[in-house]
Amino acid sequence: MAQSTAPTITVATSASQPLLAPWGGPHGGVPAFDKVKVADFKPALEAAMAENLAEINAIANNPAAPTFENTIVALERSGQTLIRVNTVYDIWSSTLNDDTFSAIETEMAPKLAAFSDQITQNAALFKRIEAVYKAPEIKKLTPEQQRLVEVDYKQFVRAGAKLDATAKARLSQINQQLAGLFTKFSQNVLADESDSVLVLKTDKDLGGLPASLRDAAKTTAGTRKIAAAGVITNTRSSIDPFLTYSDQRQLREKAWRMFTNRGDNGGAHDNNALITQILQLRAERAKLLGYATHAHLRLDNTMAKTPEDAMQLMEQVWKPAVARVHEEVADMQALALKEGAPASFKIEPWDYRYYAEKVRKARYDLDQNEVKQYLQLDKMREGMFWVAGELFNFAFVPVTDVPVYHPDVKVWQVNDKTNGKQVGLWYFDPYARPGKRSGAWMNAYRDQQRIDGKNVTTIVSNNSNFVKGKDGEPVLISWTDATTLFHEFGHALHGLSSNVTYPTLSGTNVVRDYVEFPSQLLENWLPTPQVLSRFALHYQTGKPIPQALVDRIDKASSFNEGFATVEFLASALIDMKLHLAGSQKIDPDKFERETLAQMGMPSELVMRHRTPQFGHVFSSDGYSAGYYSYLWSVVLAADASSAFTEAGGPYDKAVAARLRQNVFTVGNTVDPAAGYRAFRGRDPKIDALMKQRNFPMTAAKPGGKLGPGKPIDVPPKQPVRRKK
């Protein structure tokens, strides 16, 4: 039942509070973004929580014997107002966060955590769920219904439903403390990103930058009202290209330090003490719930199942990736010396991208800036739509009859090409701005479902941080950015393809190390000739990218994979090792430094996400002890891509149909390992990944399955309906 730490809730009504009203208008209803007032969030959340608790109590205290319909389905129907309010609240948190909103977020985070515990710790409610789970009648339910019962039951158990009253009270205290720490962590990183910029004072400071980056830097200076030749903001989409092209080494170092030290500068926005507290609380919570460590708790509900299996995969790839980095550094060092660098010159982390680009150009005659001339953001978006039409039979039609939360946001209606029926809406928020967290992510505003026989279509969004250039000119993006664009669109297609009954099992609501599989897979369609010839058009001439340039891109496809793999794996391994350390008190900076040294981390690069800014892991529980899932999923994606190669190519209709049927449409209605086997005809193997990255197979287990044969989460927050 409710704990003494539960929030005090003030009831408002939809008449006085627009956020509480059901979504109206076209397309089955849409968020009323034009009516949102930041001051309304707190009373709306409180009223929605009160309503949801009343619904939960009605289910828990139902005098009728527990059944699938009056307990499990009733839970699915509950909390709709809160889901809507929380969706809009999370959009403001990630894209329009300012001082006023941050104050509300700081207050509400612990209250939302306490509210969630009131549901999962409701003894009467859990008793009913358990009764349905253990009843012989469960065998009479459909497979999807049985899956829903199992998911609900295990979710409640992992959330502490079986603990005694004292342990439940402590668990709720921990969850509330963590919610506050997560919020503060995110706000600290956002503050360092928003407040810190690199000012390019003179034209010399723009040296080496391509025209598009110069224009973007000048535009940013104007927007920020800074009298300078240009300004580089403290986000990856701005820093990475600067590090790649700037010929001013001292400025590269300043940019690199500004970016890699986010959350690690001492003072009010330093995250190290917060991380120590988060790790201690997570370790205590895991012990309360009967798990050895937080890592064991988090992986209990994944394809990997255990931290040991996840570590085994990462360690198979780590050594060959590090060896490749040493080769890459040697090539860069030799080129730098050839260009006249002093004999004492050493490649530093702020040099890596710059000299890697030079080596790429020398070895493959491939200049990424040349490629960028053919990668217009709008054209790449059209290319994604075309791929979605070929593989998923979707058509995207722009609409202007829905409100948006910022003028940059555009909306498309997504239809089935064959019957013309709407399957959902796709919102696109592409540009960086103050108050928007960095990175790229997908979010679901509404889950597809059909509980009462009526199909409720989904609403999804993709969010990026591209930098605007001159007004009226196309935004040119890098090959890496285009790949990320396709990746996030893969998440959106996963949500749009959903064809299930119950929202808990809908779309991307799958286990953490499977959710990245569809998105990793879609990256493989960017380099296909069909996309490049139609949509990789020169921003001035309109001519398609030359085949000779495409060939050079293909030859260089595994170039710099050592860097890409090591910077990712370093983050993933640190994440796992932090959460396997149990209850020991950790100094994050010291742990990061010493553990990387023990691992043999090359000194010429750093983790993709250093610990003090690792939002995936410390802004929520989302990817904690789970960042490995990107590698797990890319193994699946490489293996799945081979299925197309072995058949008729990337647009093979039969393989695409199997992919839709067994992966994209089913959500969490089937075990992911079983779904993958139904698509592929076997368990996944690591071979395709090693070949794709040109790593030696001797470092892996040739032909080996992913894991020992066991059944194989810009981290947006999930709705608070129930803990997932």
- CA 525/CA 199 separation, integer angstroms: 38
Quick check: 716 and 703 in contact, CB under 8 A? no
* Phi/psi at 414 (5° precision): -110, 125
DSSP class per residue in 580-625: HSTTS---HHHHHHHHHHHHT--TT---SS-GGG-HHHHSSSTTTT
Nearest to 90 by CA among 401, 416, 441, 372: 441
Nearest to 683 by CA among 671, 696, 666, 700: 671
* Tokens of residue 643, six digits: 């299925």
Nearest to 357 by CA among 382, 332, 337: 332
In 201-350, beta strands by DSSP E: 230-233
Q: Is 37 helix (H, G, I), strand (E, B) or coil?
A: coil
Q: Is 340 helix (H, G, I), strand (E, B) or coil?
A: coil
488 classed as catalytic? yes
Nearest to 167 by CA among 284, 60, 283: 284
Burial of 137 (0-12, 13-18, 19+ CB in 10 A): exposed
Burial of 301 (0-12, 13-18, 19+ CB in 10 A): middle
How many other CB atoms sit within 10 Å of the CB of residue 201? 13
- Catalytic residue, candidates 76, 105, 130, 488: 488
In 168-301, beta strands by DSSP E: 197-200, 230-233
Quick check: 275 and 618 in contact, CB under 8 A? yes
- CA 485/CA 463 separation, integer angstroms: 9
Quick check: 609 and 616 in contact, CB under 8 A? yes
- CA 677/CA 688 separation, integer angstroms: 16
Q: How many helices (H) and strands (E) does the chain have?
A: 27, 7
Q: For residue 456, list its beta bridge partners.
A: 449
Quick check: 627 and 616 in contact, CB under 8 A? yes
- CA 289/CA 282 separation, integer angstroms: 11
Quick check: 93 and 427 in contact, CB under 8 A? no
Instruction: Return the sign of the alpha-carbon dihedral for residues 278, 279, 285, 289.
Output: positive
Quick check: 255 and 243 in contact, CB under 8 A? yes
* Tokens of residue 644, six digits: 């197309």
* Tokens of residue 276, six digits: 């120590």
How many other CB atoms sit within 10 Å of the CB of residue 651? 15
Q: Which residues contact 432 (CB under 8 A, 6 or more apart)?
A: 233, 235, 237, 238, 438, 465, 466, 467
Burial of 424 (0-12, 13-18, 19+ CB in 10 A): buried
* Tokens of residue 27, six digits: 């397309």
- CA 22/CA 15 separation, integer angstroms: 11
* Tokens of residue 410, six digits: 């555009």
Active site residues per annotation: 488
